Structure 1
Amino acid sequence: MKWVIKVKTNIVEHVKDKKLFTETEPIVVALSGGIDSMVLFDIIHQLNNNVIIAHVNHNKRSESIVEYKYIETMANEINIPFEGYSIEETTDNFHHESRLKRYEFFRAIAQKYHSTKIVVAHHLDDQVETVLMRIVRGTSFSGYSGIKEIRYDRNVSIIRPLMEITKEDIVEYSKENNIKFFEDSSNSEDIYTRNRFRHNIIPLLKEENPNLNKKIIQLAEYIDSANEVLEEKTKEFLKAYSMYSNVSLVDFNNLNKVLKIKVIQHMVNNTTNNTVEVSYEQYNAIIDICLSSTPNQTYSLPNTYLFVKEYDVIYIKKEVPIIPISIEVTKEGEYFVDDNKSYIFSNNKITHNYRNYFELCYNELVFPLHIRQRKNGDKMSLKIGSKKVKDILIDKKIPKSERDRLLVLTNDDVVLWIPGVKKSHQDQQNPKKLYIYEVE
């Protein structure tokens, strides 16, 4: 009985000390059928009388359907709500995709039962494996702190009450309580990274230091504490910038490297809704761009996001392809660029106060006119001589990312007007004019 008392006492005290959940609030228990989750369920069911079982069948093993049916039957016998979900393998990256679908399912079940708590069975040995794997593979600074005991995911909390319980404790508890569980046959296969660490690497490390688990947990806790300080400093720095956008390049460059990485991480997470991971090498490349004397640069991130440096600011944005625009203007009328923008060409002045407009003398006019994006070599007539459109945009400090999207009005490939930027010089001999208005 000593294992039962030890494990249960530790978890009960832990739940109460950290106020993980109450005895009556609805809790979704992620129950795979393995020894860890079955022990977790046994204990949670004793602590809480409002449990919902959520089981996911990954369809990777022949015995999966047997496990599904057993858990469903068990839930019905003890009068506990059961929710099951089957995942079909659809991509090469099944492990990642299935994890996303699994937690999406858990969140949906939590919402269905008006729960804000999802309980999963990660334990201390899982934490040791995770930290060591991340050390070898590489991760962000916060990643070295391992698995969070409590992780907030949208409107729910993912809770791991077994994080201070070892695998040995779990095995002994299951023996003394005659807990039925299913052994996942894939756990013995060394084709999986975690299994190689569990079966081969960690036993060797424990030969060097039998207290390996303790030392790794101490390292994770130390990094977690240090990361909390960095998080506070990062948020303090970024609170001056709405939506973490248009961050001052000068202020950013004055930070030390660790804080620079944290700031970039927050900017990326905020813009991408935590869907993009940035490697250490990518952080370094971005930092180098910020220190470069080149005023306008971009850096491609996964999922078609961009890090952008524009003169004295930096930000993250979704890369949107440029759609070529070429509109021929043959007479008066309204010409639509898209649903949000059009140009009105009229022989009469319009009283409406349009922000961008252009008066074109008829002696300068030869139909057709064209509305298009700028091209290499485009020039505009000025009071004295002419100037390349590219140089005009640079002088106006138009960000590089916007230059190729700007429209110009041309006559026989001569640029007459860059709406919102500059108008060409005209010979005013003819009083008759064509009035052009940008409508947005």
Structure 2
Amino acid sequence: MMNVEDRLSGLSLLAREERLWLPGETVVVAVSGGPDSMALLHMLHSLREEERLKLVAAHVDHGFRGEESAREAESVRQYSAQLGIPCETVQFNLPAYIEETGMNAQAAAREKRYAFLHQVARTYGAARIALAHHADDQAETVLMRIVRGTGPAGLAGIPIRRIEKNVELIRPLLRTYKADILRYCEQWAIPFSQDSSNGQKYYFRNAVRLDVLPYLSSFNPQLSQSLVRLADLAAAEDDWLEQETMAVFERQIAPHGEGCQLTRKALLGLHVALQRRLIKLILRYIGLETETTSFERVETIRLAAADGAPSTWSFDVGGGVRFLREYDNLVFIRANEGRTISERGGYAYVVRRDTASLALPEAEAVLTLAELAKDEAPRPASRHEALFDADALAFPLTVRNRKPGDRMQVLGLNGTKKVQDMFVDDRIAPSRRESVPIVVDANGYVLWIPGIRRSSHAQVKESTSRVIRMVAQTKPSSDIPNNLE
């Protein structure tokens, strides 16, 4: 059994190894009144001078157990006062809150408890909130996740430290077992309360603690230690894989509106483990709580990138997120980004002969026009440039999004072709088709679709003397001017 000095020395070493706090910081200690949190308060108090820590105790009475809860709150206040530590307490009526919100008891209690702890941290300018989860809690958590179904990341269990709302949650006792904590309390005569609800087996964790772990431990007396060791190994490997995934994210992910996108090639070039992690990281990036995202949904997205999958396809991931496969692009968007361009009535801009520049914010582009002598006009270098006989154009022109039934008399082809078919032929992503600009003359003829095709109307011929040169430039929306020049 470790003596007190060894226990405190071990805690100091752990704090330095895991960067649990910095000298001089203020730490809020969540104290329920049980042996774990009261021992944690005493340990941190014993280290406060050496570590130059400022401590604040914070206690929540959830309002479930009446007089028993009131006695716990009072014991926390008295012990904090004995140690000379300021103590903040609050009482909630959780039964009423649960009835109002429909949440389950544990989720509601956690939400209100953590909100109060963060409030105390803001009040005292604390950088850390210390929680009293210990090694037995870790073993129970890992086993619970195995029973419910988890991936490698879930085997990491409870993290020893993590950021939440700009405050770091730390768990200094996560590698200390309950038996050692109880001996510590006995050695230092630390008062504590026993929560009667800990014996109620209708809570899953209590059933695991009281029945499942003891039964499984009959096959392996060191089961708790094995589960904690598994969590440590999984946490280290999960951290490394997360760093690798983040590096891929930074190299391969491009913005797409309020979402993001990547190519199929980029995803398929990764090991399957990184494919799954990258998908989950992308979903987190655009605001989806991935802890509730099933393996099946992630796998559906991953397999949608395969060569044999449909080239255009969409999938509702849940939580307001939609996944799109658009040929060789994989797109992740918020499903509630707003109405489509068509739902907003589309867009249409008038172009007169003297118009020099036209902003097209819907297409994130700018169309420039210049009237030149025929021999001064350079030949188009790409499909984003076009020349027209200035005198053969029927002004005013209109630049708009597509309409049902649009057809073009394509240069070099007999007859006309549907604009929709041209989009498919050129593999224009379905999500982009509403925004692609179409230049139409005063008679309603489709003259040009920048980047795709031009029509046979107003061709430059031997007899042409002056031309209209049009250039469509794609630009970030922040660089697009608001008005015609």
- Give TM class, smaller chain: 0.7 to 0.9
* Structure 1 pair 8–311 and aligned structure 2 pair: CA distance change class (3 A): same
- The residue type paired with residue 339 of structure 2 is I
Partner of 1:291: 306
TM-score, with normalisation over the residues of structure 2? 0.72
Contact 1:356–1:420 (8 Å) recurs in 2: no
Q: Which residue of 2 aligns with 1:266?
A: 281
Partner of 2:204: 193
Aligned with 2:427 (options 397, 400, 403) = 397
- Given that 1:3 and 1:169 are in contact with CA atoms closer than 8 Å, whether structure 2 keeps it comes out as no
Aligned length: 422
Establish whether residue 93 from structure 1 lines up as the match of residue 103 from structure 2.
yes
**Residues 1:322 and 2:332 aligned together:** no
Give the corresponding residue for 1:51.
55
Task: Give, in whole Å, the separation in 2 of the partners of 1:240 and 1:98.
Answer: 41
Q: Deviations over 1:65-103 (max 9, x none)?
A: 554455345545654333345463343334345434543
Q: 1:151 aligns with which of 159, 162, 185?
A: 162
Q: 1:226 to 1:326 in 2, by over 3 A?
A: closer
Moved over 6 A (4+): 357-365, 369-373, 405-411, 421-424
2:270 aligned partner, one-letter code: L
SS at match of 2:251: coil
Report what 1:27 is aligned to: 27
Report the AA paired with residue 85 of structure 2: I
Identity of aligned residues (%): 27
**Aligned with residue 202 of structure 1, among 209, 213, 225:** 213
- Which residue does 2:270 correspond to in 1? 255
* Within-5 A mapping of 1:322-361: 322-323=339-340, 325=342, 343-345=348-350, 349-354=354-359, 355-356=366-367
Deviation for aligned residue 1:208: 0.7
Which residue matches 2:469? Answer: none
The alpha-carbon deviation at position 147 of structure 1 amounts to 1.1
Q: 1:398 to 1:164 in 2, by over 3 A?
A: same
2 CA distance for matches of 1:391 and 1:178?
A: 82
Q: Does residue 305 of the first structure (1) align with residue 315 of the second (2)?
A: no
Alpha-carbon distance in 1 for matches of 2:352, 2:319: 48
Counterpart of 2:229, as a letter, is: Q
Cα separation, 1, equivalents of 2:178 and 2:254: 43
Change (3 A) 1:416 1:97: farther
Q: What is the TM-score of this pair, normalised by structure 1?
A: 0.79
Taking structure 1 as reference, are residues 66 and 302 closer, same or farther at Cα in structure 2, changes over 3 Å only? farther
> What do residues 352-391 of structure 1 show as CA deviations (whole Å, max 9, x unaligned)?
45434899999999xxx9978755x654554543333332
Corresponding residue for residue 231 of structure 1: 242
Write the distance in 2 (CA, Å) between the matches of 1:347 and 1:16. 71
Residues 32 and 56, structure 1, Cα contact 8 Å, conserved in 2 = yes
Separation of aligned partners in 2, 1:403 and 1:69: 66
Distance 2:341 2:354 in 1: 30
- Superposed CA RMSD in Å reads 4.2
Match of 1:36 in 2: 36
State the 1:407 CA deviation. Answer: 8.0
Judge conservation of contact 1:20–1:159 (CA < 8 Å) in 2: yes
Q: 1:259 is paired with a residue of what secondary structure?
A: helix
CA distance in 1, matches of 2:123, 2:252: 37
- How far 1:404 sits from its partner (Å)? 5.2
Distance 1:242-1:211 versus aligned 2 partners, 3 A rule: same
Unaligned ranges ≥5, structure 2? 360-365, 370-387, 459-471, 473-479
Q: Secondary structure at the match of 1:213?
A: helix
The 3 A distance-change label for structure 1 pair 324 and 311 is: closer
Partner residue, 1:142: 153
